[in-house]
Amino acid sequence: MKIKRENNIPNHIAIVMDGNGRWALNKNLNRFQGHEKGVKVVKEVTKYCSEIGVKYLTLYTFSNENWNRPANEVISLMKLFRQTLIDEINLILENDIKFKVIGDKTKLDILTRKKIDDLELKTKNNKNMQLILALSYGSRQEIISAVNNLLKKNKNKVNLDDFINSLYTKNIPDPDILIRTGFEKRISNFLLWQIAYSEIFFIDDYWPNFNKIKLENIIKEYNLRERRYGKLD
């Protein structure tokens, strides 16, 4: 059975936002300036998604592996993240966006955790769209965490719902679209369980060059694809 879509807005879009540093270096800027430009693109894409009817937007913001970057860059990124939450709170509230962070929050500093907790609490009843930031996130770690949570419950046998409800993304539908910028053709340990049937788009450009027009074109192509879910035509 084919699932045909005409001008259908995907329910959930997930994005690997890759290439901030390389974009900056190509322009003889420092890497932090690339991250600042990347934040501007996040704002544009978030606003656009909330306006066209996307219900879930998940952004790969900081991976577990990113902790291996130089300490000064990690500190700068966390400072930028906290400042962005302050600067964009009006965007989030005005567009009725619910804010959520998934990942290992125990690795985050106290100031960052407090900013996250405050914004999650302030937006918990918002309905228009959910903005999910994968921060200190790794999909393998998420799966191991789910298994450990089930073991703590003394589960002798686990069904699909048990496992899904033990993931960071419980109550969040799987992505319809996964986008990766930055010229790379890999998933990089992002939502490995959840993207089983996602339509994947690899973009040959850096994240700071991404915009709502490029996203609109991806959605148009998404609507041309046939999703069979293992079934015949």
Can you tell me the mean pLDDT for 6-17? 90
The DSSP line for 146-184 is: HHHHHHHTT-SS--HHHHHTTSTTTTSPPPSEEEE-SS-
Taken in order 50, 45, 48, 92, the sign of the CA dihedral is: positive
3-class state of residue 188 by DSSP: coil
Tell which residue, 87, 96, 86, has the closest CA to residue 118: 86
pLDDT digits (tens, 9 = 90+) for 65-120: 999 999 999 999 999 999 999 999 999 999 999 999 999 999 999 999 999 999 99
Task: Compute the residue count for the chain.
Answer: 233
CB-CB neighbours of 129 under 10 Å: 22
pLDDT of amino acid 48: 97
21-30, 146-155, 204-213: which range is least confident on average? Answer: 146-155
Can you tell me the mean pLDDT for 177-194? 98
Angle between helices 110-122 and 71-87 (to 10 degrees): 20
Alpha carbon distance 116, 135 (integer Å): 10
3-class state of residue 57 by DSSP: strand
Could you identify the residue written with the tokens 């005005």? Answer: 94
pLDDT digits (tens, 9 = 90+) for 19-33: 999 999 999 999 999
Give me the active site residues, please: 18, 66
Can you tell me the mean pLDDT for 52-64? 97
Residue 150 has pLDDT above 80, yes or no: yes
pLDDT of amino acid 1: 32
pLDDT of amino acid 133: 98
Residue 37 has pLDDT above 50, yes or no: yes
Determine the residue type at 49.
Answer: C
Cβ contacts of 75 within 8 Å, gap of 6 or more: none
3-class state of residue 120 by DSSP: helix
Q: Where are the domains of the chain?
A: 19-224
Tell which residue, 61, 120, 112, 49, has the closest CA to residue 89: 120
Residue 207 has pLDDT above 70, yes or no: yes
Alpha carbon distance 162, 47 (integer Å): 34
Alpha carbon distance 32, 47 (integer Å): 23
Tell me the fold of 19-224. Undecaprenyl pyrophosphate synthetase (3.40.1180)
Of residues 161 and 4, more confidence is placed in 161
Structure tokens at 168: 């960071």
Are the beta carbons of 134 and 61 closer than 8 angstroms?
yes
Alpha carbon distance 194, 223 (integer Å): 20
Are the beta carbons of 61 and 77 closer than 8 angstroms?
no
pLDDT of amino acid 226: 81
pLDDT of amino acid 5: 45
Of residues 176 and 231, more confidence is placed in 176
Percent with pLDDT over 90 in the chain: 91
Structure tokens at 8: 């259908």
